[in-house]
Every structure is written in C-alpha cells, then in structure tokens.
Amino acid sequence: MDEKKYVNAIARRIKCDGKKKKEIKKQLMMDIHIRMKEGEQLEEIISQMGTVKEFADSFNETLSPKEQKRSVRNKVLKIVIPLMAVFAALVLFVYWRFPRTFDIDQSKYFNKEQVETAMKETIELLDAGDYAALQESAIPQMKHVLSAETMDDAKRILSDDWGERKTFGAVYVAELVQGNKHFAVGEITVAYENVSAVYRLTYDKDMRLSGIYVR
C-alpha cells in the first residue's frame, strides 16, 4: 500500500465532515512525506502510525459525538439523495411515456367535429372494403393491417355475418398525449343488421389513421 491509498483509507473511516477530512488527509500526507525525506521508509512509518483501522479509531475517539453524528447523517444523505433523484427521474419518465387523455375541446391540434367526421368516413371505407383508400389515409405502420384478410378476421370475432350498417351511435372523442406526441382517440358504436360493433379509432396530428380496434 502506498502513502496515498493509506491516507485515503484512513479518511474514509474518520467520522467527520468532508472539509475536515480534506485537512486531515493533507496533514497526513505532509507528515509522511517529511519523514520519508528524512530517510524513513514508508513501511516503517505506516507501522509506527498503525493500521488504517487503528489510526482511524484512535482519531475518532477525539471527535465529539455531535461531529460523529453529523458525519453519519452526511453519509446517509449521500446515499439517499442520489436514490431520490433516480426515483424522481423514473417517475418523470413514466409520466412522460404513459398515455394521458385530455378534453378534445381544449386541444390545440384537433377539432371534435373534424375527428367525428373522419371516424365515420373510416368506418364507411371499412364497410365498403375500400382498403386502398384506407391505406392512403393511414400512417405507414398501419398499412399492413388495413387489408381484407386482417379486417375480416377481426370482424369474425363478433360475427360471421354483420349485415348492412344501420346507424351510427354517439361519438366519444379525447386527445391522447404520449411523450411529445398528440393523438385524437374516438369511440363510436355502430349498429348493423346482426351485430353492434364498437370502434376505437386513433388519428395523429395530420389526421392520418394511426390505430384501429373493434369489439
């Protein structure tokens, strides 16, 4: 062990504040270097000063209980504060990533009537089987979903024969924010001859179809 490691090890065991530890380390290094210049070997110096534990324990006995308690508190804070910072960062990240919904009437990006119209147009295209037009109005990631095969499979979950569309029900629309992205999300119940289906449709800020769910 060289003199620097020896002194640093002692400082870690001393129960006082950081400022005083720096002073102690500086003084110990100075004392050791002076003795080495006078011809003493480092091993001999360390042997006379005692082991790290012996020296630190001896020094701690000279400190007041108040100063020792302050040192313990500071050590705890050094652990707790970073943990709290990590936890706070995690909470903020989850809050930022987790989808949040807002009143569509307060939106800077969407108009409720425009979203309702887009939803009905999307459903009309689905009922007509016009998947080319649907793909044209959707984001690229949605295009593989908007096919006769995929949508027919989804419809069969409710019924093999929906029949003709009869009426559109009430429309519920909200703005969804995830991260820094804004979407309009709407639900509408549509009555067909043989089944009632609930559509959940999502649109991005450019009113491109970004999600579709039928139940």
Give me the domains of the chain, ranges plus CATH numbers.
Answer: 3-96 (no CATH), 101-214 (3.10.450.590)
192 Cβ neighbours under 8 A, 6+ residues apart = 162, 163, 164, 165, 166
Q: What is the pLDDT of residue 149?
A: 87
Q: What average pLDDT is seen over the chain?
A: 80
Q: Region 18-30: what's the mean pLDDT? A: 78
Does the pLDDT value for residue 181 go beyond 50? Answer: yes
pLDDT, one tens digit per residue, over 33-68 is 887 877 878 888 777 777 888 777 776 676 666 565
Q: Which two tokens mark 172? A: 């519920």
186 Cβ neighbours under 8 A, 6+ residues apart = 115, 116, 119, 171, 172, 173, 174, 200, 201, 202
Q: Region 129-144: what's the mean pLDDT? A: 90
Does the pLDDT value for residue 76 go beyond 70? Answer: no
Q: Region 107-114: what's the mean pLDDT? A: 93
